[in-house]
Structure 1
Amino acid sequence: MKRRNFLRNIGFTGGIFALPSVMAETGNTGFEKENQLLVKGKVISNGKGIPGVSVTDGIRVYQTNKNGEYAFLANENADFVYMSTPAGYAFTHQNHIPQFFVPVKGKRGTFSHDFVLEKLSVDDQQHNFVVWADTQMISADDCAQLKATTVLDFKNLMQQYPANTLFHGIGCGDLVWDKFEFFKDYKEAIDMTGVPFFNVIGNHDMDLNSRTDDYSAETFKEQFGPTYYSFNRGSIHYVVLDDVFFIGTAKKYIGYFTETQLAWLERDLQFVAPGTTVVVNLHIPTFTGAPKRNKKEEDFGGTVSNRKKLYALLAPYKVHIMSGHTHFNESWEQDNMMEHNHGTVCGAWWTGPICGDGTPRGYGVYEVNGSDISWYYKSTDKDKDHQLRIYPKGYDKNNPEEIAVNIWNWDTKWKIEWLEDGVFKGAPTQKVAKDPWAVELYEGPALPQKHKFVEPTLTEHLFFIKPSSGAKKITVRATDRFGKTFEESISL
């Protein structure tokens, strides 16, 4: 069958971006119904087609024509056909789990599906999002804590913003702790927030009995859809990736991007203008300072082995990478790129109020204005200006003559100062050390009682002050990169 007749027979005579390129790439001149899948449909809002929307089978990426139509031959191994929600439209969701996909696994013949969107009533150039890293529930009690603390905290935070402020969330992996029955509770928590959450697969969200990595996400896909995809809001292009590669035995995994996924990302980004701000969300951080702090080689399960291949694809853009996994809070920045590795919602696996580096259990909050992003760390059950903790002199047993200060969201563009009895004394001394409260709560084989494997971790966001013998009051002033100042004092 000639291509012109083929197009006429499926109802289109021109203008479809996808189908001619597929025919050219595959060399097919006809459609073999028994072993191929033709997917077609529209992306529409209020009955009108939306042009230029990316639609994909997870392998190739196509765009809708001027009438909002798409049609292409899906890859035979495709699990879903899905779209990249365009800016200006609400996120279609079911109980606040986004529904931007349709399952096609095992289908053959012709499959039609229209993606229906609702136009936003407010300008999405200004919007906010939160990153929840490692909710990681292993018991009903953990689930109850998530709902009673983090959900309530987030709802209270949103009330501090003007009405109709746009929010969405990123569940940054390890949504549960190998207990898939608690996906139900995670979903209930998300629904309670009233905010759509896009979800990332973590190493504790994988099917550990699968034969290879190819099948390690079957349960996750049933719950949340594709493991890698993109969407848009305002001027920001968001990407979610799966960087947890299961090696097929026990709970072993490495941080790694498959070629299939990187090739998909390359195709997705061809429709994103250079210079655009791109927010990449994944579970295992691409890189951290932990190996240097601990004077050890990189752990294959702690960072992404082929991260430089990702960086190369992202070189034309202004990039923020959102990650979890480590249960500590830190960031790094180089050239066009900054990675935010988040402290966890669960703290130290729901055993106490802080992570192993002293970061309070909580989540990242990001405020978007056009292509610019500002951020802060929100500690659960604390005011949003709670950004540092001062310890009494001698509380850190390794520095008995000094006052330790933990400034968990510190990065190299913060300015840290201290005053003694109102007199400016300059910058405190930064050290790689363990948070003294984390030592008290978690260090040693008997602590914490709930999960004895938890230990304090070395961090770079600790600062030390040696007061004069007669000092009565020490004040620490921390100014973040956006010019906002946080101040705490301690009496001696």
Structure 2
Amino acid sequence: MKSYVISFLLLPVLLWPAGCGRIEPEAAPAGETVISVGLPAEVKTTIGESADGRRKVYWADGDQVSLNGTASAALSGVGAGQNTAAFSFSGVFSAPFDLLYPASYYKDATTVTLPATQSCSGSAVVTPCACRVFSAGASAGMRHLCAIIGLSVLKDGSASTGRLTSVTFRGGSGEQVSGDFTIDYASGALSGSSSAQADLSTSLSLSEPLSVSSPLVVYLAVPAGIYNKGFTVSLSDDLGNTMTMKRSSAVTLTAGHLVLPSAFAFSPSPNSLELSLGELETGSLPFDGCTVTGRVVDNGGEPLEGVVVSDGLICTRTLMDGRFYLESELTGTRFIYLSTPSGYLPPVENGIPQFFKPVSSLSAVGGVLQCGDFVLNPVANPDDATVIFTADPQPRRHEAYYDNIAFMSLDCCDDLYRDLRETAGTVSGRQVYGVCLGDLVHNDPSLFSEYASGLATLGYPTFNVIGNHDYDTSASSDDAGAEPFESWFGPRNYSFNIGKLHFVILDNLIMKRSGSQLTGYDQGLTDEIWDWLRADLAQVSKSSTIMVCAHSPMFRLSNSSERSNSAAHGEDYGTLLRSFRAVHAWAGHTHATFNYVYPSSHRYKNVEVHTLSRSTGELWTNEYLSAGTPRGYTIVEVRGGVLSSWRFHPVKYQSGAFQGRKQPDYLWRDWTYSGGVAQLNSGGELGESYQMHLYPPGAYGDGYLYANVFLYDEKWDTPQFMLKGGSTSQMELVEDEERHDLADTEFRTFYKANNGSMKGDSSYTAKTTGYPCTLFRVAAPSSGSGTVTITDRFGNEYRQSISW
């Protein structure tokens, strides 16, 4: 029988980064597993005196670790200052290995129980830690689950008090601090859901005398997180005296950090007294391994606490003084950057948010990189916002031979920017944001300057996703090919927050050489990006809504296949994201609209898919449609911090000259251009009322009237057709594999027949089948008129009439 010795280093109790080790086969008694835990010099269950800015912590007798739910034998005979110990278990275990300290907190495979009553004896304290090791030989790192509050309590010489018998902690907003929590072993994150009164407090039980001159120091472990209204600490003695100290304002208690309020005297009082946290002294926290430091402040210089900072692999939070300490390995690290918190914006240059600092621009002091200050600007009405999603503008240079077939892509981009600018100008009382879902350019990084110039005119910040056409095709590797993009827009993987929405920007295409160029790719996340995603989402409440934005679709595709089944780390990111309350997965890349709501029985029932068509029209001709959807973009409204609606907005401008010798007849286009502005054949300018395209009976060679409803998904009502002088009928969704949009087919057929470049290009077909996924039909007479009506999921009704 094979046995393992599992060796790793536990994370120091007062530090962020995890210690590392390996799981390797080793000779051991059959049927027995031994975990050898080597502690760095400043670690675990007994906290020593502060010396040289360090708090040394050691193992103690009685400590136990659980392995996949099985508790180890208790340690015994632990010597003073011992920072390594071997834990033994009965049985042999298979990966993955879930490790938890202390073992007594284990309830089941996904649940730990934090006690309502903690014990305290001198400097001993239980500091819960956990990790998951996926395979033998893999690196392991224990992650802290709780913050530690250390109270220094003196005797009030003027009051009659006894022995201190209890210290009780409560969150100011009724946060759960004890009882059952769901645990993510991989990220070390706890999620509580109990509102039972018994779970809203945790207490120390002790019996210790107090001294006027020498404070009694006691430690209390509490779940890490943001306490929006602070917390209270109530103390009692054996004479029945009580005293309550409170922190009135919001505070972030970071896992593995020691919080040391100023010493105070136990003075019985019916009133709550303010607990002075002051600043966390560097002498209280041993940042021995810190390689990067800096500060996050607002535009008035006030420190911002709890802001997430990353090096692209690990994440930490700022302390109360706004400072952060990263233990980054710095190997391959290009940026230190923020997850911009809700209610703030970083400086914006040319429409590009500056939430990052290149490592190459930082200087070191004593071997530690100094980031200086990240400055964030407050946003008015932070819970209300408008977010504009675009995809695949993908311009090419005017002289490119494939950009002279119909309309020039740079001209179409200028039309897009003009339309975006005007739309943003109609918004008042809330911040406008943009997200571009990749392919900012088309295999030409020199055009990033043109793209940035366009963003600079919009009047709002745009967060950018890297697409496969945004790489330097002459580069030798994925990372090298991304350097031009990063020099303009910063890191490829980052996050930010709007209201209660957490936006995650991901690079989900792994580029590789195809012949002599970096144009091939695999779908999914690299190991490094997956590690960063776990670290980022570990900072986010499971009750949050995640807006995950990538270039290529990450979940359901229009052909009903599931991308997460085959993408690198697809099952991993799918499992992680489905643990959140709601997920909206945004993408471009396909140049075709596709929206999907998973059924309630599906494992991804909390996920919705939003794949956008190309904002500047068909790829090679830049014509007015892309797989049946007009040039345009999606506008998302946020109210009260949550998603309230979204809608399609067509681009009405076409200012560039036609480049070919002859244009299509545009038999099926619903508008004409006058002075570069689309005028609907039914009257008025093209605008947001245009949410569908109708085709009369006979158009498709049959007796059906067709409607392409651009942004339809399963939560919309089914469109209804009312025949003038007749009855109302429900339309049916067309799911035939040969379905296509007739207007799109019209101009593609024309260019395939009349343009030399398109004639010889086998990849350019006269008809794009399988799209759109939003085509409906209903039987109709050979002549007549009527109206199609549809109501979206938000209660907005759209109508369009047609005569034939």
Shorter chain as denominator, the TM-score bin is: 0.7 to 0.9
Give the match for residue 74 of structure 1: 328
Q: 1-side partners of 2:742 and 2:337: how far apart?
A: 48
Give the match for residue 62 of structure 1: 316
TM-score using structure 2 length: 0.54
CA contact (8 A) 1:479 1:485 kept: yes
Instruction: Name stretches of at least 5 consecutive residues in structure 1 with no aligned partner.
Output: 9-13, 22-27, 32-36
Q: Which has the higher strand share?
A: 2
Give the match for residue 643 of structure 2: 372
Give the match for residue 153 of structure 1: 419
Residue type of the partner of 2:689?
D
1:351 aligns with 2:657: no
State the shift of 1:443 in Å: 3.3
Q: 2-side partners of 1:426 and 1:126: how far apart?
A: 39
SS of the residue corresponding to residue 377 of structure 2 reads coil
CA distances 1:405-437 after superposition (whole Å, capped 9, x unpaired): 211111112221001115333212321311011
1:337 aligns with 2:337: no
Residue type of the partner of 2:779?
K
Residue type of the partner of 1:487?
R
1:259 aligns with 2:527: yes
Give the match for residue 375 of structure 2: 116
Q: 2-side partners of 1:213 and 1:6: how far apart?
A: 44
Q: 2-side partners of 1:154 and 1:303: how far apart?
A: 36
Give the match for residue 320 of structure 1: 584
Residue type of the partner of 1:363?
Y
SS of the residue corresponding to residue 261 of structure 1 reads helix
CA contact (8 A) 1:86 1:231 kept: yes
After TM superposition, list the pairs within 5 Å mapping 1:36-435 onto structure 2. Answer: 38-45=291-298, 46-76=300-330, 77-105=332-360, 109-113=367-371, 114-120=373-379, 122-140=380-398, 141-147=408-414, 149-161=415-427, 163-249=428-514, 250=517, 251-292=519-560, 304-317=567-580, 318-334=582-598, 335-349=605-619, 351-369=621-639, 370-381=641-652, 382-396=686-700, 399-415=701-717, 416-432=719-735, 433-435=739-741
Segment of structure 1 superposing worse, 325-334 or 348-357: 348-357
Segment of structure 1 superposing worse, 366-375 or 454-463: 454-463
Segment of structure 1 superposing worse, 241-250 or 179-188: 241-250
C-alpha distance 431-156 of structure 1, shift in aligned 2 (>3 A): same
Q: 2-side partners of 1:222 and 1:274: how far apart?
A: 34
Q: 2-side partners of 1:236 and 1:145: how far apart?
A: 31
C-alpha distance 6-135 of structure 1, shift in aligned 2 (>3 A): farther
CA contact (8 A) 2:477 2:511 kept: yes
Q: 1-side partners of 2:502 and 2:757: how far apart?
A: 39
CA contact (8 A) 1:54 1:61 kept: yes
Q: 2-side partners of 1:134 and 1:228: how far apart?
A: 18
Q: 2-side partners of 1:209 and 1:115: how far apart?
A: 34
State the shift of 1:449 in Å: 3.8
Q: 2-side partners of 1:393 and 1:117: how far apart?
A: 57
SS of the residue corresponding to residue 231 of structure 1 reads strand
State the shift of 1:18 in Å: 9.3
CA contact (8 A) 1:377 1:409 kept: yes
CA contact (8 A) 2:346 2:375 kept: no
1:463 aligns with 2:776: yes
C-alpha distance 260-139 of structure 1, shift in aligned 2 (>3 A): same
State the shift of 1:363 in Å: 0.8
Q: 2-side partners of 1:450 and 1:138: how far apart?
A: 19
1:473 aligns with 2:732: no
Aligned pair count? 465
User: What fraction of aligned residue pairs are identical, expressed as a percent?
Assistant: 29
State the shift of 1:180 in Å: 1.2
State the shift of 1:401 in Å: 2.4
CA contact (8 A) 1:387 1:486 kept: yes
Q: 2-side partners of 1:464 and 1:419: how far apart?
A: 13
Q: 1-side partners of 2:477 and 2:471: how far apart?
A: 11
C-alpha distance 205-19 of structure 1, shift in aligned 2 (>3 A): farther
Residue type of the partner of 2:418?
L
SS of the residue corresponding to residue 230 of structure 1 reads strand
CA distances 1:269-308 after superposition (whole Å, capped 9, x unpaired): 112111111111100011344435xxxx8899x9845433
SS of the residue corresponding to residue 176 of structure 1 reads coil
CA contact (8 A) 1:417 1:427 kept: yes
State the shift of 1:136 in Å: 0.3
Q: 1-side partners of 2:559 and 2:489: how far apart?
A: 33
State the shift of 1:124 in Å: 1.3
State the shift of 1:350 in Å: 6.0
C-alpha distance 229-448 of structure 1, shift in aligned 2 (>3 A): farther
State the shift of 1:197 in Å: 0.4
Q: Which has the higher helix share?
A: 1
State the shift of 1:105 in Å: 4.3
C-alpha distance 59-448 of structure 1, shift in aligned 2 (>3 A): farther
Q: 2-side partners of 1:303 and 1:143: how far apart?
A: 35
State the shift of 1:91 in Å: 3.3
RMSD: 2.9
CA contact (8 A) 1:442 1:448 kept: no
Q: 2-side partners of 1:152 and 1:222: how far apart?
A: 26
Q: 2-side partners of 1:431 and 1:62: how far apart?
A: 49
Residue type of the partner of 1:391?
Y
State the shift of 1:447 in Å: 5.5
Q: 2-side partners of 1:136 and 1:112: how far apart?
A: 37
State the shift of 1:19 in Å: 9.8
Residue type of the partner of 1:345?
S
Q: 1-side partners of 2:562 and 2:755: how far apart?
A: 29
Residue type of the partner of 1:404?
Y
Q: 2-side partners of 1:168 and 1:325: how far apart?
A: 21
Indicate the structure (1 or 2) with the bigger Cα radius of gyration: 2
State the shift of 1:99 in Å: 0.5
CA contact (8 A) 2:614 2:626 kept: no
CA contact (8 A) 2:336 2:358 kept: yes
SS of the residue corresponding to residue 291 of structure 1 reads coil
CA contact (8 A) 2:554 2:563 kept: no
Q: 1-side partners of 2:508 and 2:356: how far apart?
A: 20
State the shift of 1:446 in Å: 2.1
Q: 2-side partners of 1:173 and 1:132: how far apart?
A: 9
Q: 1-side partners of 2:708 and 2:568: how far apart?
A: 30
TM-score using structure 1 length: 0.87
CA contact (8 A) 1:18 1:72 kept: no
CA contact (8 A) 1:284 1:303 kept: no
CA contact (8 A) 1:129 1:167 kept: yes
Residue type of the partner of 1:78?
T
Q: 2-side partners of 1:169 and 1:418: how far apart?
A: 36
Give the match for residue 84 of structure 2: none
CA contact (8 A) 2:445 2:472 kept: no
CA contact (8 A) 1:19 1:73 kept: no
Q: 1-side partners of 2:785 and 2:451: how far apart?
A: 45
CA contact (8 A) 1:134 1:345 kept: yes
Segment of structure 1 superposing worse, 413-422 or 350-359: 350-359
State the shift of 1:333 in Å: 1.7
